[in-house]
Structure 1
Amino acid sequence: MFEELGQLIISVSDGIWGTPILILLLGGGFYFLVYSRLVPLRYIGHALKILTGKYDDPNEPGQLRHYQALSTALAGTVGMGNVSGVAVAITMGGPGAIFWMWVSALLGVSTKFFTCSLAVMFRGKDSAGEIQGGPMYYITEGLGRNWKPVAVFFAVMAMVGVSPLFQANQLTQMIRDVLLVPNNIPVSFGSDLVTGIVISIIVGLVVIGGIKRIGNVTGSLVPTMVVVYTVTVLYIIFSHPAHIIPAFQTIIEDAFTGDAVLGGAVGAVIITGVRRAAFSNEAGLGTAPMAHGAAKTNEPIREGLVAMLGPIIDTIIVCTMTALALIITDTWQISNADGITLTAQAFDSAIPGVGKYILVICVIFFSMSTMFAFPYYGVKCLGFVAGAKYQHLYNYAFVLVIIIGAVSNLRVIIGLIDIAFALMAFPTVISTILLSPHVKRASVDYFARLKLEKSRK
């Protein structure tokens, strides 16, 4: 029965990620880029200045500083999708899938700018009277109460999409395949179960502290995990200098030709790339606007500019480095492994003896920080659907789901999360398109004031 259910989930996931979702995410991103007249790309320098805290004002409404909001959002995106998600993309669609991840991320920059600007512009109040942000709030506040069923639908799907199934599964797989099996320690369903229970206890101790503690924790963890991972992967890449350019050539050529796209399957490679990019940076799915909607600011455009840095850091930089490590070491061709195990083999191949253990440390940072950030999104969604007094119950469900993820099948988990992500994207992108004139007017006003301020100095 469970096997049949798993196959059904995989089939539904493959079916829903077709032409409509491609048009929605890629077409929506292109629309936002053109409609904004390339504003997100033109003001990257200003976005970095905002991130340094130059414009922070503790007296403005909200719960998180700009840096904390981006760190919380990145904790939910710079994670296992960058490590094992890239490996899944290459094994499913070939190296060419990475090219389409780039395309999706570049368009996602504009999508993030619009969705996260709206998250501040149309903040609402939960049943406890606290200011909240996110698609479910800007749908109801911006489009009207008649759209509340759409907002509720988004919130329900998001509670599934931000579950810890993938992170718990891949962390458990890493511990099993890299630490236990090579050291001849017996593994079984029971050992995975114990690992899941330990992870759930650790995560439970953090998430009960609420969003402010999450902001503090992720603000420390995200830079650390990115630096450690970046240094290691760069070492792998530059220790094979002759293979760097050929690796990029492989990615670009395979995006349009080659074994991975023969038989009229070019669309399948594009879908795989967009699918994994969505899993990696979530542009257009609607989770990041919940974090950025909690930012301490009265300037929606300012927060949108900070948010747009996410896909650049997450997909263009981190995912590309992972892909190069897998391609340069030829691990993707010589191994039958999948997910995190494939990435571990690439690390071990390039840095024998210690590479895989460095990855273990990185994976712990990636997966844990994501699991620290995700409950906040789920709590917000449950609070919107059932009321603020019940929202804390999501934390307990989240901790229990960690145990389920630790002992479940990877492909089924990916399928379930992908279904939720696709169903989140439709209300998020469509409502953002409908409300985009508000962002356009606000951006014109903001940059006019910014220009005037500079002229006075």
Structure 2
Amino acid sequence: MSSFKRLVASLGIWALFAMPALADEGLESRGGFVDFIVAVINGFGNFVFSKINLFGVHIEWIVAFLALPMILLTVYFKFINLTSFKRALNIVRGRYNDDTAPGEVTQFQALSTALSGTVGLGNIAGVAVAISIGGPGATFWMILIGFCAMSLKFAECTLGVKYRIIHPDGTVSGGPMYYLEQGLKNKGMGKLGKILAWSYAIIAIPTMAQIAQVNQSYEAVAAVTGFDSDFSKWSFGLVVTFLTVIVIFGGLKSIAKVTARLVPAMAAIYIGAALVIILGHFSHIPDAFITIFSNAFTSDAGMGGVVGSLVIAMQRAVYSTEAGIGSATIAHSAAKTHEPVSEGMVALMEPFIDTVIVCTMTALVIVITGTYTASEGATGISMTAAAFGSVISWFPWVLALAAFLFAYSTIISWSYYSSRSWEFLFGGSKRSMTIFKVVFCLFLIPGPLLTVGEVYLVMDSLFFMLAVPNIIGIYIMAPEIKRDLKSYLSRLKSGEIKMVK
């Protein structure tokens, strides 16, 4: 099938989701292009979040589908999220570096690139969304989900490195498309592998529209500047697009160089401010944890009680950690290493840093300051800004800058993720990749024009659906991962793999 036919087929599939919503006479018009995007969001979201009756409780089928492998793999790999955590730290510190290993970036840079796609607005705005809908108890479920997500992240990133393709020029192509196709082919399931790989790539194409990042960073900037008009929205979208163009045309090494500097700096500023507030209210910390824990198991948990709180926590945690959706495997595939399992161990640190630490700190700030009850109507990043601003009056300005830079780093990381899906579908010629970069940047522009509900609906829908083909493949290849893990640990123990520093 030619690249053109593949493109037409992909657009046709996504147009099908828009038809029901476009027929809705109540759809508010914001221009043809924006209306079409909103129509696709609504149509696809209605499908993804349809509910099933599970033991007498109505729950989104996709939430149950994602929760199960996180728990099963944690047990199956004998709690690798705990037993290999120290080892993962040593790998990131370069204690097992091999300068002769294939790859494009160091294991630390691979982790930084992946973290730049996860640590960001999901931690700043996503936690506030979870609390505003599911109550403070949603934080408890996010922490628990983040803990179990570490095992799932380990599994997919191990496969990402194992089945990556090293090109003659040293560049790397990797990700779910490759390990689903090749990994299942090696098991005699070639047809199933192709179906899953192509399904993943087609679903991944719309993730080029990183509208949630542009939208929420605009909201933060608008809140402190007071500028909020159609003109300012379009202008903001154009500025973000221009800054994105500068970086993504430089390739992965350019992206890794930027994210390796941006992410630690902005994370330090954000975490530092959170610690000032948390430690400044040290005596309130026990009460905050009691509120979070007790609310997680009461009928007052929000949005349908305990189950509702769990559901919204799962939605926000998946968006925050990206565990199970396979995106981070694309970044980790480029790491310089001979050992796929070692990079899987590096990857399991992501959910811990992203959800267990950063999201918990955001939640504590919101609960300790009482913002979740005091800020009527505040959702997303506006609630987080109100929480920080209630203690540090000038911090919303810093938060606006942090939100912008976090969003920016996430956008450029996802430009790389999306480019690998595009390459898989349409080829990696210079012309093809230039078209991709132009399309990617154009889809950023209308981000500020959508509502918070719309941007999170589209991102949740896409992220959850990406997990379907990915997790099916991981289930099938789990015994293979376990054998590789056993071999790696055995060689470490015997001294065959040695520390270099």
In structure 2, distance between residues paired with 1:224 and 1:456: 32
Report the counterpart of residue 174 of structure 1 in structure 2: 220
Spell out, residue by residue over 1:351-407, the C-alpha distance to the aligned partner (whole angstroms, 9 max, x if none). Answer: 12x111121222122111111211000000000011112234222122111111122
1:299 aligns with 2:339: yes
Q: Check conservation: 2:103, 2:170, Cα contact below 8 A.
A: no
Name the amino acid aligned to 1:59. T
Query: What is the identity, as a one-letter code, of the residue corresponding to 2:273?
Result: T
Q: Which amino acid letter does the alignment assign opposite residue 373 of structure 1?
A: S
Higher helix share: 1
Match of 2:439 among 380, 383, 397: 397
In structure 1, the gaps of 5 or more residues are: none
Q: Distance in 2 between matches of 1:167 and 1:305?
A: 28
Question: Shift of residue 128 of structure 1?
Answer: 9.6
Contact 1:126 1:383 in 2 (8 A): no
1:425 equivalent in alignment to 2:467: yes
Alignment-derived partner of residue 89 in structure 1 = 130
Match of 1:150 among 182, 187, 196: 196
Task: Measure, in 1, the Cα distance between the counterparts of 2:466 and 2:44.
Answer: 17
The answer to whether the Cα contact below 8 Å between 2:73 and 2:151 also exists between their aligned partners in 1 is: yes
Structure 2: which amino acid aligns with 1:61? P
AA aligned opposite 1:40 = N
Partner deviation per Cα, 1:269-294 (whole Å, 9 max, x = no partner): 11100110000010111101111111
Give the stretch that moved more between structures: 7-16 or 25-34: 7-16
Distance 1:391 1:149 in 2: 23
Rounded Cα–Cα distance in structure 2 between residues aligned with 1:247 and 1:456: 44
Displacement, 1:13? Answer: 4.9
Measure how far apart 1:137 and its partner are.
0.5
Q: Is residue 15 from structure 1 mapped to residue 50 from structure 2 by the alignment?
A: yes
- Aligned with residue 320 of structure 1, among 360, 380, 388: 360
Question: Map of 1:251-330 to 2, 5 A cutoff?
Answer: 251-261=292-302, 265-330=305-370
- For structure 1, which segment, 305-314 or 150-159, has the greater mean C-alpha deviation from structure 2 after superposition? 150-159
Check conservation: 2:104, 2:170, Cα contact below 8 A: no
Does 2:376 correspond to 1:341? no
How many residue pairs end up in the alignment? Answer: 450
CA-to-aligned-CA distance 1:6-38 (integer Å, 9 cap, x gap): 655554454269453233222101221111122
1:234-254 residue CA offsets vs partner (Å, 9 max, x unmatched): 111111122211111111111
> Aligned partners of 2:48 and 2:484: how far apart in 1?
37
| TM norm structure 1 | 0.93
Closer, same or farther in 2 for the Cα pair 1:410/1:456, shift >3 Å? closer
Equivalent residue of 1:431, what SS? helix
1:149, distance to aligned residue in structure 2 (A): 2.2
CA distance in 2, matches of 1:24, 1:56: 37
- Cα distance, 1:423 vs structure 2: 0.9
Secondary structure of 1:402's aligned partner? coil
Determine if contact 1:10/1:411 at 8 Å carries over to the other structure. no
Change (3 A) 1:455 1:225: closer
With over 3 angstroms needed to count, the CA separation of the structure-2 counterparts of 1:92 and 1:261, relative to structure 1, is closer
Q: Is the 8 A contact 2:130 2:138 kept in 1?
A: yes
The one-letter amino acid paired with 2:410 is T
Aligned amino acid, residue 15 of structure 1: S
Match of 2:142 in 1: 101
Asked if the contact 1:255/1:261 (under 8 Å) is kept, the reply is no
Match of 1:163 in 2: 209
2:56 corresponds to: none
Tell me which amino acid in the other structure corresponds to 2:408: M
The 2-side partners of 1:174 and 1:40 are apart by 34
- 1:40–1:308: 8 Å Cα contact kept in structure 2? yes
CA shift for structure 1 position 337: 1.4
Q: Alpha-carbon deviation of 1:434?
A: 0.5
What's the RMSD between the two structures over aligned residues?
A: 2.2
In 2 relative to 1, CA 436–392 (structure 1 residues): closer, same or farther, beyond 3 Å? farther
1:74 aligned partner:
115
In structure 2, C-alpha distance between the alignment counterparts of 1:392 and 1:46, rounded to whole Å: 40
User: Following the alignment from structure 1 to structure 2, what is the Cα–Cα distance between the partners of residues 16 and 394?
Assistant: 35
Is structure 2 residue 486 aligned with structure 1 residue 444? yes
Q: How far apart in 2 are the matches of 1:22 and 1:134?
A: 23
Aligned pair partner of 1:236 in 264, 274, 277: 277
Asked whether the 8 Å contact 2:208–2:440 carries over to 1, the reply is no
- Aligned-pair CA distance for 1:73: 0.4
Q: In structure 2, the residue corresponding to 1:403 is in which secondary structure?
A: coil
Q: Distance in 1 between matches of 2:372 and 2:47?
A: 27
1:76 touches 1:374 (CA, 8 Å); kept in 2?
yes
Q: Structure 2 matches for 1:351-390, cutoff 5 A?
A: 351-352=392-393, 354-389=394-429, 390=432
Which segment is superposed worse, 26-35 or 270-279? Answer: 26-35
Instruction: Supply the AA of the counterpart residue of 2:109.
Output: Q
**Does the residue aligned with 1:391 lie in a helix, a strand or coil?**
helix
Paired with 2:402 and 2:231, the residues of 1 have a C-alpha distance of: 25
| CA 139–84 in structure 1, closer or farther in 2 if over 3 Å, else same | same
Identical residues among aligned pairs (%): 37
User: Where in structure 2 are the equivalents of 1:40-59 lying within 5 Å?
Assistant: 40-59=81-100
Q: Residues of 2 paired with 1:114 and 1:105: CA distance?
A: 15
C-alpha separation between the residues in 2 aligned to 1:455 and 1:259? 52
Partner Cα separation in structure 2 for residue 400 and residue 226 of structure 1: 28
When normalised by structure 2's length, the TM-score is: 0.85
Bigger shift: 114-123 or 154-163?
154-163
Check if 1:34 corresponds to 2:75: yes
8 Å contact from structure 2 (residues 341, 485) kept in 1: yes
2:156 — aligned with what? 115
- In the alignment, the residues of structure 1 paired with residue 484 and residue 292 of structure 2 have an alpha-carbon distance, to the nearest angstrom, of 39
Give me the whole-angstrom Cα distance separating, in 2, the residues matched to 1:121 and 1:130.
15
Q: Name the residue aligned to 2:10.
A: none
Task: Give SS of 1:78's match.
Answer: coil
Q: Distance in 1 between matches of 2:383 and 2:179?
A: 40
2:106 to 65, 90, 96: 65
Q: Describe the SS at the equivalent of 2:254.
A: helix
Partner Cα distance (1:120, 1:108) in 2: 19
**Aligned residue type for 2:466:** M
Q: 1:413 aligns with which of 455, 459, 463?
A: 455
Instruction: Report SS of the residue matched to 1:445.
Output: helix
Provide closer, same or farther for how the CA distance between residues 173 and 456 of structure 1 changes in structure 2, counting only shifts above 3 A. Answer: closer
Cα deviation per residue 1:402-426 (whole Å; 9 max; x = unaligned)? 1111221221111111111111111
Once residues 256 and 439 of structure 2 are traced to their aligned partners in structure 1, the CA distance between those partners, rounded to angstroms, is 21
